[in-house]
Amino acid sequence: MQVAGSNYRAVNWHSDAAGSSGAVQWIEQRLLPHRFQQVVSSDPEQVALAIESMQVRGAPSIGATAAYGLALAWQKDQPHFFEHWMPRFRMTRPTAVNLFDACAVMESCARVGADTDMMIERAVAYADAEVAANQCMGEHLAPLLAIGERRILTHCNAGWLAAVDWGTATSGIYQLHEAGESPFVWVDETRPRLQGARLTAWEMQQAGIDCRIQVDSAAAWMIAQGKVDAIVVGADRIAANGDVANKVGTYHLSLAAGRHDVPMYVAAPSSTFDSACASGNDIPIEMRGDEEVTMMDGTDASGTIRHIRVAASGVAANNPAFDVTPFENITAIVSEQGIWQP
């Protein structure tokens, strides 16, 4: 998608002019919306750390970054690929199954004796397939979102930053916008890391889509007031029975949507579906550190990024990063392959 008139992806393969050695390039998402900065690294450990520290986040972007990182590991350190780099990438984040899907794809490619060029081509193809899936799912999603006054609520960032390009939930919104339908987006700020306020609102601003940030606890009331025509979110893992793990707060949105008859859509590519998990009970939910809840980041009046404490020092926090929404609470799951209803 475009930033200040130029095209970017959340993550991509970066070749030098001679094309002889490679690197991974990603947008440092922790700095947004205050600074737009790309990082280039030819060190696979730095790529693994970028996922772990959430410089790159969002299920499809995590998967694509791991694919690129493993191609890099094959290029730089082939003797340790299976016993070090495969487990290293698999341990970076636990919930988004796209990570494990990408790792499995790259491992199979390596096991059949691929050379470095083939590994790089496989990683590039993996990321390109995610982008094509997003675009296609947006085509399924846009007509569903073209209802009422096109006031769409979304949670977290299931935008192009989270999904290499187009986004999952936002793909339908972008396509509605391109069709001249003038969508309006209620952006849940999404505590604790504020991916909605920091990333989705910035994406909407870059695309010229009207939006307003609201605190997560305003969402149910706005739904009750009839001010939301549809809800669309992404997913980090979808179990075989259709239960959806997504950013914490998604479950309570589904309760309000059901109570007030507002359609709630989940948009995710095939790489987010996990047939090995029978139901949401089998999905591992990432527990994150107390500091994400008790501290906050932002810029002061001079534009300097500050890390400040909001809770009393020493008070403990509870910080599950995801929750599970039962399939029955969802109007439909939309992927590049079609639309599923409970």
**How many CB atoms lie under 10 A from the CB of residue 323?**
19
What is the DSSP pairing of strand 237-239 with strand 244-247?
antiparallel
The one among 32, 235, 253, 334 contacting ligand MRU by CB under 6 A: 235
The one among 63, 234, 249, 280 contacting ligand MRU by CB under 6 A: 234
The site that binds ligand MRU (CB under 6 A) totals a number of residues, namely 17
Cβ atoms of 243 and 283 closer than 8 Å: yes
Q: Is 236 an active-site residue? A: yes
The one among 25, 200, 246, 325 contacting ligand MRU by CB under 6 A: 246
138: left (phi over 0), alpha (psi -120 to 50) or beta: alpha
Q: Which residue number is nearest to ligand MRU in terms of Cβ?
A: 234
Closest CA to 233 of 19, 219, 241: 219
Task: Give 11 or 156: the residue with its C-beta nearer to ligand MRU.
Answer: 156
134: contact with ligand MRU by CB under 6 A: no
Taking each continuous run of H as one helix and of E as one strand, the counts in the chain are 11, 18
User: Which range touches ligand MRU (CB under 6 A), out of 176-184, 215-223, 231-239, 297-305?
Assistant: 231-239
Judged by DSSP in three states, 229 sits in coil
The one among 25, 32, 51, 58 contacting ligand MRU by CB under 6 A: 58
User: Which range touches ligand MRU (CB under 6 A), out of 66-74, 157-165, 219-227, 324-332?
Assistant: 157-165
User: Which range touches ligand MRU (CB under 6 A), out of 39-47, 58-66, 273-281, 306-314?
Assistant: 58-66
Q: Where are the alpha helices (DSSP H) in the chain?
A: 44-52, 59-77, 86-90, 98-111, 116-145, 169-178, 195, 201-207, 219-224, 250-259, 291-294
- Which residues are at the interface with ligand MRU (CB under 6 A)? 57-60, 156, 158, 162-163, 168, 195, 233-236, 246-247, 321
**Would you name the residues annotated as active-site residues?**
236
